Amino acid sequence: MSPAKGTSPAEELRVDGVSVELAGARLVHEVSLAAAAGQVIGLIGPNGSGKSTLLRCVYRVLRPAGGTVRLDGDDLHVLTARQAARRVAALTQEHPAEFDFTVAEVVAMGRLPHRRGLGGPSDADRESCAAALRGVGAGHLAERGFPSLSGGEKQRVLIARALVQEPRLLVLDEPTNHLDIAHQLEVLALARAAGPTVLTALHDLNLAAGHCDRLYVLTAGRIVAAGTPEEVLRPDLLAEVFGVRATPVRHPGTGALQLLFDRLA
């Protein structure tokens, strides 16, 4: 994989005291986190802990009941939709409605915030889209209908669409879902190489350990730990939050932290 060309400079993300309510229930409680420009920040936590809800607030599907989300000091929720789309791209767990667009057409949607007037894609847009598809190993799918793809192929196409949007902040909600092992290992490396600040929710703690600069642990909608992977992925915390016995080991080739898991007795 190779990064898409033309990515805009990364920007600093600050989430300050954000709470989120749905149907009268508070799902996220006064969460604060920060990402320096270009960092990869991971959200980890059990199912139902509030990770996806918080991400939806960052990419503006939900409005915070309290607190602010700022990108380089600008409140994202007061920007116009076009202004926000030029700075933030998201890969969500929900695929778009599966109209019979080709893969090339789906990826080209990522260029819409940058187009002027009602014209179609420029030659530069088309080249950027083709490069992004090649980068995620999906160049050969360009003329296929999007609904005909496998789950993993769709995921790679949607990653390409997010990258051609040239975001300053890339929000990824479980980006390795449906991907085979090779593409799981490559997708976060691709996101980092493309240049934006990255905020991602991950279930795979070994991927989080290997690719994130900092981790935030959520449970019941609250941050219970934050720090580097070395500081956060401790056996006592993982037992408390995830209900598993974790044994830290070192990768024999890279020396990176890895975890082996067992059920608690």
CA distance 232 to 37: 21
Would you give per-residue pLDDT tens digits along the chain (265 residues)?
334 444 457 999 999 999 999 999 999 999 999 999 999 999 999 999 999 999 999 999 999 999 999 999 999 999 999 999 999 999 998 765 566 899 999 999 999 888 876 667 788 889 999 999 998 889 999 999 999 998 888 988 999 999 999 999 999 999 988 888 888 888 888 888 888 999 999 999 999 999 999 999 999 999 999 999 999 999 999 999 999 999 999 989 888 899 999 998 7
In this structure, the answer to whether residues 225 and 241 fall within a common structural domain is no
- Give CA–CA dist 202/169, Å, rounded: 17
The CATH number of the domain where 33 resides is what?
3.40.50.300
Residues 180 and 84 in one domain: yes
| Strands, E assignment, 79-202 | 88-91, 169-173, 197-201
Residue 92 lies in a domain: yes
- The verdict on 151 and 245 lying in the same domain is no
Per-residue confidence (pLDDT) for residue 180, from 0 to 100? 85
Beta strands at 257-263 and 197-201: parallel, antiparallel or unpaired:
unpaired
| Inside any domain, residue 1 | no
Instruction: Count structural domains, the chain.
Output: 2
Residues contacting 225, CB < 8 A, separation 6+: 215, 216, 217, 231, 232, 237, 241
What is the rounded (10 degree) CA torsion for 8, 13, 18, 24? 20
The reported pLDDT for the residue numbered 115 is 80
**Per-position b or e across 143-182, b if 16+ CB within 10 A of its CB:** eeebeebeebbbbbbbbbbbbbbbbbbbbbbbbbebbeee
Q: Is the dihedral of CA 113, 119, 124, 129 positive or negative?
A: positive
Nearest Cα neighbor of 222 from 73, 59, 34, 53 is 53
pLDDT tens digits along 133-142: 998 889 999 9
pLDDT of 34: 97
pLDDT at 5: 44
Q: Is the same domain home to 36 and 165?
A: yes
What would you report as the CA-atom Rg of the chain, rounded to the nearest whole angstrom? 19
Q: Do 242 and 132 fall into the same domain?
A: no
Shared domain for 213 and 263, answered yes or no, is no
Give a yes or no: residue 120 inside a domain. Answer: yes
CA distances from 124 to 5, 68, 246 (A): 11, 36, 48
Same domain, 246 and 147: no
- pLDDT value at residue 237: 97
Backbone angles phi, psi at 119, to 5 degrees: -70, 160
Where in the sequence is the domain holding 259, given as residue range(s)?
A: 234-265
Residue 8 belongs to a domain: no
> Does residue 39 fall inside a structural domain?
yes
Q: Flag whether 152 is in a domain.
A: yes
Return phi, psi of residue 147, to 5°. Answer: -65, -20
Q: Which helix (H) or strand (E) holds 22?
A: strand 13-22
- Whether 30 and 127 map to the same domain: the answer is yes
Q: Which residues contact 263 (CB under 8 A, 6 or more apart)?
A: 244, 245
| Alpha carbons 172 and 21: distance in angstroms, whole number | 21
The predicted pLDDT at position 96 comes to: 59
Whether residue 187 is found in the same domain as residue 210? yes
Looking at the fold, whether 81 and 167 belong to one and the same domain comes out as yes
Q: Do 131 and 188 belong together in one domain?
A: yes
Q: Is residue 7 part of a domain?
A: no
CB atoms within 10 A of CB 261: 12
Per-residue confidence (pLDDT) for residue 6, from 0 to 100: 44
Measured distance CA(177)–CA(245) in Å, rounded: 24
Give the pLDDT of residue 8: 55
Question: pTM of whole model > 0.85?
Answer: yes
- Distance of alpha carbon 239 from alpha carbon 106, whole angstroms: 42
Mark whether 260 and 182 lie in a shared domain.
no
Residue 32 maps to a domain: yes
